């Protein structure tokens, strides 16, 4: 928890939001796919797609969620696909509690990073000790 406040918040508040977000997304992708050189990603948000398209060669944006290794959701609530999901709203995190590995969103001016234990287990993802503090059993 302290990591989030000490490291992430200052980075985000210092105006380097875009760059900081990229770093966070890179970290999350690495966490979910530590060995994979290219990760195919799909998002239901245009802005996020544009954002992901600029993340470098490791991230390849795909047109359909079925083609993706990782799905970033902000709006869609009824996607039937068994892929790790990064939720960009609490509602999405709650909706996809079995597959939403992590929720990363802003609320009340604070960045929220929440890992769901069930999804982590489902996709067999291991977290470092530092990140274990952000794991919750239920959304």
Interacting residue ranges for other proteins, rule: CB under 8 A: 1-2, 4-5, 90, 107-114, 133-134, 136-139
For residue 101, give the nearest of 134, 128, 129 by alpha carbon: 134
Q: CA 119, CA 91: separation in Å to the nearest integer?
A: 16
Paired residues of 72 in beta bridges: 43, 86
The residue among 110 and 121 lying less far from other proteins, judged by its C-beta, is 110
CB 39 within 8 A of CB 57: no
- Alpha carbons within 13 angstroms on the beta-carbon side of residue 18 total 8
Q: In angstroms, what is the minimal distance from the CB of 110 to other proteins?
A: 6
At closest approach, how far in Å is the CB of 137 from other proteins?
6
Least distance from C-beta 131 to other proteins, angstroms?
12
64 or 107: whose CB is closer to other proteins?
107
Residue 65 or 95 with smaller CB distance to other proteins? 95
Cβ closest to other proteins, residue 58 vs residue 91: 91
Instruction: Quickly count helices (H) and strands (E) in the chain.
Output: 7, 7
Distances in Å between the alpha carbon of 95 and those of 2, 89, 102? Answer: 27, 10, 12
Shortest Å distance, C-beta 31 to other proteins: 17
CB of 46 to other proteins, least distance (A): 22
69/88 with CB nearer other proteins = 88
């Amino acid at each position: 928890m302290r990591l989030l406040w000490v490291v992430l918040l200052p980075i985000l508040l210092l105006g380097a939001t875009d760059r900081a977000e990229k770093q966070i997304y890179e970290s999350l992708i690495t966490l979910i796919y530590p060995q994979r050189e290219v990760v195919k990603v799909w998002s239901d948000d245009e802005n996020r797609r544009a954002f992901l398209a600029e993340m470098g060669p490791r991230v390849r944006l795909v047109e359909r969620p079925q083609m993706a290794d990782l799905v970033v959701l902000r709006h869609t609530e009824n996607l039937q696909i068994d892929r790790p999901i990064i939720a960009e709203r609490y509602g999405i995190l709650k909706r996809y509690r079995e597959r939403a590995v992590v929720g990363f969103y802003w609320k009340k001016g604070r960045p929220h990073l929440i890992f769901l234990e069930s999804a982590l287990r489902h996709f067999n993802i291991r977290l470092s000790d530092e990140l274990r503090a952000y794991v919750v059993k239920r959304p």
